[in-house]
A and B are shown apart, each in its own frame.
Chain A
Amino acid sequence: EIVLTQSPLSLPVSPGEPASISCRSSQSLLRVDGYNYLNWYLQKPGQSPQLLIFLGSNRAFGVPDRFSGSGSGTDFTLRISRVEAEDVGVYHCMQALQTPPYTFGQGTKLEIK
């Protein structure tokens, strides 16, 4: 089973400032098709998760361009160029390379300072 480790687990950020979250995998998530099978989700308070980034670096429909995903192999980063109040919540990474099971990171809670 692939283990994903996120850091930090808590991230206080001032509005307008950048933020980044790391997700490290116990095994490479790069598949022979050239895609990294790593996705990012945001779970806003009291809501279900919503897809932000799929296959490493592709923004889901409707996701603002201040969100970006990067990385390859075992190290991935979610970046927010300028944090807004609506970005608060828990960010989860998820791997879909060796499935089942699909596995998630522990989650990173972003809060506004």
Chain B
Amino acid sequence: EVQLVESGGIEVQPGGSLRLSCAASGFGFDDFAMHWVRQAPGKGLEWVSLINWIGDRTYYADSVQGRFTISRENSKNSLYLQMNSLRPEDSAWYYCARGSDHSGGQYFDYWGQGTLVTVSS
């Protein structure tokens, strides 16, 4: 069974940093691209970042470019999102999701349960 379990979400002050993790199991992690998608409470979904299967290609939404860094450790079946210079508008549930292929995918077929990040003073 495919499982994605996020962790690391907490309340942090504006300007602070945070690292989210996503532990994957039940599939060949290094065969698939991975994504982060976020959802502010009561709002719609926003794609945040993509990393390809080997980790040498990464992409970001304009809203997080230069502040967030996606990475993966295939030996540990883990995905990460380093979040720096956090702003109140970054407050959201953060989901990791599996892309449907190794480069990015035409759809996201599995999602984790999410981890909540709150940026507030």
Binding site for B on A (CB under 8 A): 35, 37, 39, 41, 47-51, 54-55, 60, 92, 94, 96, 99-107
Interface size on B, residues (CB 8 A): 24
A103 and B63 alpha carbons, distance in the complex (Å)? 13
Q: From residue A111, how far is it (CB to closest CB) to chain B in Å?
A: 15
Most buried by A among B35, B44, B104, B109: B44
Give the tally of cross-chain contacts (CB within 8 A): 63
A102 and B47 alpha carbons, distance in the complex (Å)? 6
A101 touching B114 by the CB < 8 A rule? no
A113 and B46 alpha carbons, distance in the complex (Å)? 29
A106 touching B44 by the CB < 8 A rule? yes
From B61, B109, B110, B114, contact of A100 by CB (8 A): B61
Q: From residue B108, how far is it (CB to closest CB) to chain A in Å?
A: 7
